[in-house]
Structure 1
Amino acid sequence: MTNEEIFNKVKDILVDQFDLDDSEVKMDTNLTDDIDADSLDLFEVLNRVEDDFDIKLDVAEDIKTVSDLVNKIQEQVDKK
């Protein structure tokens, strides 16, 4: 799975979860500052990501941007 494919799935999740427009989600989008996601929102997003990608994400604290999330997913997908 490519970074672009992962990004597109993550974007779909964020658009759905936060009722955003596609154009609002970019790789450098900050999850807390730009989307106003609180810790519960992030927990829900990470759960959905884990389900959709069939992976387990260990550390959520260092996920600040969409790029961080995509990279974490890529690491886990590559391990499978």
Structure 2
Amino acid sequence: MYRTLRAVTPLLRTAAPAFRPLPATFVFSRPLLLSRNYAAAAGLSKEDITARVLEVLKSFEKVDSAKLTNNAAFTTDLGLDSLDAVEVVMAIEEEFAIEIPDAEADEITTVQKAIDYVAHSPEAH
């Protein structure tokens, strides 16, 4: 038995690399790429965006649904203060899975500006 093992050992050392098991470091050293795959590759329609933004705004207690239009301003028409307006922008970020930079978030003061921003955001879904 030991003679056979000694005879085969040199053959195993020179065997083709495909027949040798890879060390564990090579197997686990590949970076793990995580990605999201969505079925709607064409993007969102303007009507879908408008409906979802209006639903986000309707979920706020301080917003009167009767005053809610596309041209309504957050502070003057809907009666929201600056902190509420920030919360609205954060809720829109969460709804569409986007990140709005602070400088651009300050520019979103109306419902229509929020709709336009989401419509022009390529990562919105």
What TM-score do you get using the length of structure 1 for normalisation? 0.84
Out of 67, 77, 88, the residue aligned to residue 34 of structure 1 is: 77
Q: Percent identity?
A: 25
In the other structure, the counterpart of 1:20 is 64
What TM-score do you get using the length of structure 2 for normalisation? 0.56
In the other structure, the counterpart of 1:53 is 96
In the other structure, the counterpart of 2:118 is 73
| Deviation at residue 19 of structure 1 after TM alignment | 4.3
- Contact 2:63 / 2:79 at 8 angstroms: preserved in 1? no
- Contact 1:6 / 1:74 at 8 angstroms: preserved in 2? yes
| Deviation at residue 20 of structure 1 after TM alignment | 2.3
Structure 2: runs of 5+ lacking an equivalent: 1-43
Aligned residues: 77
Instruction: Give deviations 1:29-73, integer Å, cap 9, x for gaps.
Output: 111100111111111111111111001112122112110010011
Take 2:58 and 2:45, find their aligned partners in 1: how far apart are those partners?
Answer: 20
Compared CA separation, residues 62 and 13, structure 1 to 2 (3 A)? same
Q: Give the helix-richer structure, 1 or 2.
A: 1
In the other structure, the counterpart of 2:109 is 64
Q: For the aligned residues, what is the CA RMSD?
A: 1.3
Give the match's secondary structure for 2:115: helix
- Contact 1:14 / 1:20 at 8 angstroms: preserved in 2? no
Greater C-alpha Rg:
2
Tell which has more relative contact order, 1 or 2 (C-alpha 8 A, sep 6+): 1
